[in-house]
Structure 1
């Protein structure tokens, strides 16, 4: 377990929460770019979590659950809504990065033999 990466993941999650707490369209990323931003932000979260834990499925699952909690949180922010597309972009971004990490990790191990 790498505590530095886990600390960075926690800080990243706090930043996500802060952006999600902004009312209305103050973040102002137009569709379809917002889905790419979601994928990138949650891809980074997945990377930080998998580096911190070394457990790809756990890192992806936690990223997906945090994305879900983020969308639910937005139900309570004026001018924001729960967006299933955003959540799917979160899950996809985290999944792509965690999968790539797993494949590259396996390749590194094979090359070291």
Structure 2
């Protein structure tokens, strides 16, 4: 477990929560760019969690469940809505980030 990456993940979660708490007043990225932003945000979260936790399963699940929670939270913000395609982008980003972070880890056999 690497605390620095877990702190980075918590910081990103806070930033995502704050961003999704902002009422929409015509601001934001137009479709389809907003899906790319979701993908990148959750890929980064998946990467931080994987590097922090060291395992794919918990990192992917944590990032995806946070995306689900954030979409639900966003549905209560005036002018915002939870959108299924946003959740798909969150899911794919979390998967790619958590899976891709494994490329920088030492194989299990070589860990102390």
Q: TM-score, normalised by structure 1?
A: 0.88
1:14 paired residue number: 14
Helix, strand or coil for the counterpart of 2:4? helix
Provide closer, same or farther for how the CA distance between residues 94 and 27 of structure 1 changes in structure 2, counting only shifts above 3 A: farther
1:75 aligns with 2:72: no
Q: Which residue of 1 aligns with 2:96?
A: 96
Q: Which residue of 2 aligns with 1:44?
A: 44
Matched, 1:23 2:5: no
For residues 17 and 32 of structure 2, the distance between their equivalents in structure 1, rounded to whole angstroms, comes to 21
Q: Compute the displacement of 1:27 (Å).
A: 4.4
Aligned residues: 109
Consecutive unaligned residues in structure 1, runs of 5 or more: none
| Rounded Cα–Cα distance in structure 1 between residues aligned with 2:85 and 2:23 | 19
How much has 1:101 moved relative to structure 2? Answer: 2.4
Equivalent residue number for residue 32 of structure 1: 32
2:26 and 2:16 mapped to 1: Cα distance?
A: 14
TM-score, scaled relative to structure 2: 0.89
Residue deviations 1:42-71 (CA, integer Å, cap 9, x gap)? 000000000000011110001110000000
Contact 2:74 2:80 in 1 (8 A): yes
